[in-house]
Every structure is written in C-alpha cells, then in structure tokens.
Amino acid sequence: MRSSASLRWDEKGLVSSGSVDLENGGNMFLQFLSTQPAYAKMPDYGQLKCSWNEVDAHLFNPFLHDNLEFKGKISGKITGRLIHDMQFDISGQTFMTGGRFAWKRDEGRISFATEKANLFFTWRDSFLTGGLDLVLPSYGQMKGSFKLPISARLPLKHEPHGQILLESHGKMREKGMVSAIFPGLVEETGGQVDFHVSATGTWLNPDYKGWLTLDKASAFFPVAGVLIKDIGMKAELNNDKIQINSFNATSGKGNVEGSAMVWVKDWRIDRFKGKISGKRFQAVYVPEIQLEVNPDVVFEGNEKVISINGSVEVPEAIINQGESKKGAVHTSPDINIIDAPVKEKKKIKGLNFDARIMVLLGNNVVIKSPGVDARLEGKVLLTGKNIEKINGEGQIKIVRGQYSGYGTKLDVTRGNIVFNGKPVELASLDIMALRTINTGRFNEVKAGVIITGTPQSPLINLYSEPSMSEADVLSYIVLGRPIRVEGETSQSALLLRSASAFLSGGKTGSLQSRLMQKIGIDTLDVETSNVSGFGTGTLGTSIKTGTPGKTHGSPAGTSQGGATVERSLVTIGKYLAPGLYVAYGRSLFTEEYLLTTRYSFTKKIEIESKTGIETGVDLYYKIEFD
C-alpha cells in the first residue's frame, strides 16, 4: 500500500488532498478546497471531492458479522460543499462489480452473486434522500428509496418529529435457497415472491404498510416423501399486524388452505393466531406409511407457547410396518455391547404447546405388518403439553383383520385398542384372533390367541372353545386338529416354530417341553442360516453335548441374527444310549436334509459325522484348564 498527502493553507485559502494506492490495485482520493484564509479554526466553507475505485470489498468484512462474507470491487464518488455554520450539501453514488455475498454455516456456505448493486444519495438541508438498486441474476431484483429527516449539519442529529419515507419493492425467485438453509429437511424448492413495503410518518410514530405474494411455489420433504406444490400466499402489513389473507398448498390429490394474523412488537413476533383446513392432503408418502389427512384446526400463541385445537380426519392410510425392514440385518435385542458409548437422550427444543386434537380414522385405514393385516376405525382425542408425552382418550377398533404367523392365519373376532387418558404408548389392547375348525356333526372348535397389555409390551395367550391343553390349542391353530402321540415328529418343529411366532417368548418354553415329552424326543431345534449355511441362529431347544433328558440352549421364542424362516432347518434328536446321539434335520421349504451322529468315547473325546447339507467327520478333544 502506498499513500500521499499534501496541505497548503495561507492567505489565499486552503488546498488539501490525499490518496491511497491499495495492494490489490484499488485506490482512494480525497480533496478539500477553501478560499477562506488561514485562521485559528476550521474553514466555514469549501469544496469537497472524494472518490474510490476498484476497492476490494473484503476490507469491510471486519465490520460485518462473523458468519457473513463480502466479495467484489467497489467504486464511487462524493461531491459537495461546506456552507457556513457547519452546514453541508453533498451527493454521491457507489456501485459494486463482481459482487458476491456469502453466509457461512456449520453445514456449509450459502452464497449468491450480484449483477448490479448501486446506491445513490443526496444530503441537503433537513433530509437525506437516496435509493438502492439490486439485481441478483439467479434470484431477481429489488429496488428501494428513502427520505430521512437528518439535517445536513455537523454534529449530526435527527428530527424525532420529522417525516420519514422508506419504500422497497421487488420480484424474487426462490431457486434452492430454502433447501440450502435447511439441508435434509426440504429439497427442490422453488417459487415467485413479489413484495412492496413502505414506511411513512415520523421517527417516533412510523406507519408501516405493504403486501407480499407467494405464487407457484413448491418443495419436496424427503423425510415425509411428499412433494408439496402450488403453494400460494397473500399477506398484508399494517403497522404492527401481518394479515395472511390466504394460504394454500397441494399434495397428492388433495390440498390445504388457511389464514393467519401475526402481531409484531419491537421487531419480534409478539403473538399469532390462525386456522388450517383441507381435504385428502398427502401428509406422508414413504414405503412404510402412506397417509392422507383432512385437517381442520385453529391455533394461536406467542413466542413461548402455542395452542392447537381441532380435528384431523384420516380418510386413507396404509401402514406397512415390515416394508423398510425387508432384507435388512438387525442386531439381536439380547446383545449387550460392553463399554459402548452412552447415548444421551436429546431433548427436543422448540415451542411449548397445548394441544387438543381429535383424530378420526376413516374407512380406508389399513395396517399391514408381518403378523397383522387389518382395517382400523375409531377416534382418539390427543392432548398434551410436551411433544414427548402425548395422552390419548378414545378407542380404535379392528373392524376386519387377520393375525398370522408361518402360514397360519387367525381371524380377528374382537379388536379394541383403548386409550384411557394415559400416554398413547400405554393404550390397552383387547384383541382376540381365532381359527374355527368344523370337526363334523355340527361341532366346532375355536382356537387362537388373546392379546392384552400395551403396544410396547403385549401379552399373548392361547385360547380355545372348548377348553383344552395348550399343546392341543397350538395344534388346532397350526394343523387344524389335536396333536397325536405317535407319528407327529414331522410336525412338532412346525408347532414349536409357530408357538414362538405367536407367543414371542411368553409361554413358549413350557409349551415346548410338553410337546417334546408328548412326542417322545430329547431335542428339538430350529436352526436358521446366514449366507454361508445353516447354524448361525437357533430357535427352540438345542443339544450339542449332554446326557439323555437334559436340554441346553436358548429359550423358545427368541431369535438371533435376523435369519428368515425360508432358510430354517428343523432338527429332532434322540439319545439311543448315554453316549450315542442321533439327529435328523430337514428344511421346512426345500429338499435339504442333514443327518448327524455323535458318539462320546470318554468325557474328553467325541466324534461326530454329518451327511446331507454338510458331509464330514469331526473329532473333538476337550482340554480343561484350572
């Protein structure tokens, strides 16, 4: 940087000037001339000239917010004169070329270029007047003007009762700015915004007026899987009130519309109220859930709390709980990871609220999951003051449905989900699913399950008419007839597998023991496969080494590794002698089989042979350490 200055003040007057040549090629120049002879005070009058050319805008960044960045070349000039009694009359303009504004955030940078950025002003007598002209090539243009009651006199002061005039208008295009500000939440944003805002009156009592329209806007919400389009809004500004006369949006084959009023105080939202209604608005469209709603709610609040009242009808919904889990490998729920980092539960930040919303299920609300296929009806009043604790009061009925597992389907004859004012996750279940078997001579046997408890902790019990043993109930459910003592080894694994499917770890263990005792076998094992073959998971009771009458393994009803029933190998085994064990396994759905023979010579030496899926002979030797 290079600078120079000169000063001459004598009886002929004052001549002063200074210039600075910046490192990046820009320069600045200042000159003041006066014909007033030298005297022991500042000149009372004179001529002023000031100019700057190609000054790098980054010089102004230290005066901006840390997250803002300013680039470009700034040029301009100011000319004027100093009048007696410290009055002045000046005018000037400045413009920027190659401009770019940037906003730095944790998620990245948001920047936009300027095609034109001009500022001009005149400061004379009692007013400062001027205007602004801004053109953003990708986003539109904005123009503004101002007239402020600030006297052109040193020291500067403004007139509190002087008339002000501020005006701004423009047309802006939304082309991804919103999605850049909220990454991941919203994508593919677009739309057209027109606005006109003005302020008149005085400094102490300004009068704000204006309007804003939003037209042909759209946005995609990836979390909900919906594209909201045809978004429109018309709003008016009247001093401390913003009246949203209309708001509308389309999603799927439906739409919503609404209106609102916002009160502003000290440039902040003081309070608000409004209403929203709609028909068949697609709120969610992802593989797991497709949801249409008919909202009819009113809301009001302030910066601390919001109150929501009304109803939301759900005319159509499809809930596929198992859709997103297809092909996925999940960790077994009984796995305990030692020294795993503790995940702190994040507290949801936001407005406190007081909600009272009636949710009504229409005629096409269907839930589909690996074990349930049902249509729901009913209504529930949801209330709450915290998003983490929503209470419900009402009832949802299963009007038509089936409860199934491993090829067996039970018709839901009674299905109620009762909400009694407690948190919704503590709703009471009252569900009965039965299979009706006609045994001839006008006799019927009904066998099935009764589900009670809560959605988070359901209790599943076997049920029958007439009353019978649990083994027979399960046999009627799976086979349509009672279990027999002889010749049932080919069906026992299927019964046990179905028991674990229906009862999920409830009474399956005791039922399994009764089945094995009735059939006359020592081991019953259902092994599931991974990519490489059978043996990565077990379901049922498995014996690897032992003595007759002893069983070892995981309780029935547990599953490991996320394997599927299509790869299940059912194995039954029998101890023919204290040291001789024979087992036969066969796939439920393929022709694969596995014959295993194991003989223990001593407590430390054992030989095992396998034929079928895997063929080979293994010799085991046991070494014990103290």
The neighbouring-strand residues paired with 15 are 8, 33
User: Looking at 136, 158, 191, which one is the last position of a domain?
Assistant: 136
CA 568 to chain centre: 37
Evaluated on CA atoms 502, 505, 508, 512, the torsion sign reads positive
Residue 126 DSSP class? T
**Cα distance between residue 8 and residue 35, in whole Å:** 11
Asked if residue 168 belongs to a domain, the reply is no
The amino acid sitting at 511 is: L
Q: Is 570 inside a domain boundary?
A: yes
How far out from the chain centre does Cα 237 lie? 33
Residue 128 and residue 148: Cα distance in Å, rounded? 5
Last residue in a domain, options 136, 158, 187: 136
From 226, 231, 247, 142, select the one nearest 192 (Cα to Cα): 231
The pLDDT value recorded for residue 590 is 62
Compute the 3-state secondary structure of the chain and give helix, strand, coil in percent, each to the nearest 5: 10, 60, 30
Q: Is 279:255 a contact under the CB 8 Å cutoff?
A: yes
Low-confidence ranges of the chain (pLDDT < 50): 323-324, 327, 348, 486-490, 504-510, 529-566
- Whether residue 296 is contained in a domain is answered as no
**Please, are residues 110 and 86 in contact by the beta-carbon 8 Å criterion?**
no
Quickly tell me which residue has 């085994």 as its tokens.
Answer: 573
φ/ψ (deg, to 5) at 495: -65, -45
Dist. CA 458–CA 449, nearest whole Å: 12
Can you say whether the dihedral through the CA atoms of 467, 470, 476, 477 is positive or negative?
positive
pTM of the entire structure? Answer: 0.69
- The alpha carbon dihedral of 470, 473, 477, 480 has a sign of positive
Residue with tokens 């704000």: 208
Q: How far is CA 159 from CA 147, 150, 164, 208, in A?
A: 12, 6, 10, 19
Rounded Cα distance, 159 and 204, in Å: 10
Neighbours of 557 (CB within 10 A): 21
Q: Could you give the CA distance from residue 171 to residue 221 in angstroms, rounded to a whole number?
A: 25
Q: Cα separations (Å) of 383 from 111, 379, 390?
A: 43, 13, 6
Closest to 135 (Cα-Cα) out of 143, 124, 125, 126:
143
pLDDT of residue 45: 87
Q: Is residue 46 part of a domain?
A: yes
DSSP labels for 473-491? HHHHHHHSS---SSS-HHH
State residue 259's pLDDT score: 96
Are the CB atoms for 226 and 251 separated by under 8 Å?
yes
- For residue 192, give the amino acid letter: Q
Domain that holds residue 541: 480-621
Q: Is 598 a member of any domain?
A: yes
Helix (H, G, I), strand (E, B) or coil at 591: coil
Does some domain include residue 583? Answer: yes
- CA–CA distance, 308 with 273 (Å, rounded to integer): 10
DSSP states of 238-284: ETTEEEEEEEEEEETTEEEEEEEEEEEETTEEEEEEEEEEEESEEEE
| Number of domains forming the structure of the chain | 2
Residue 295 and residue 282 in contact, taking contact as beta carbons nearer than 8 Å: no
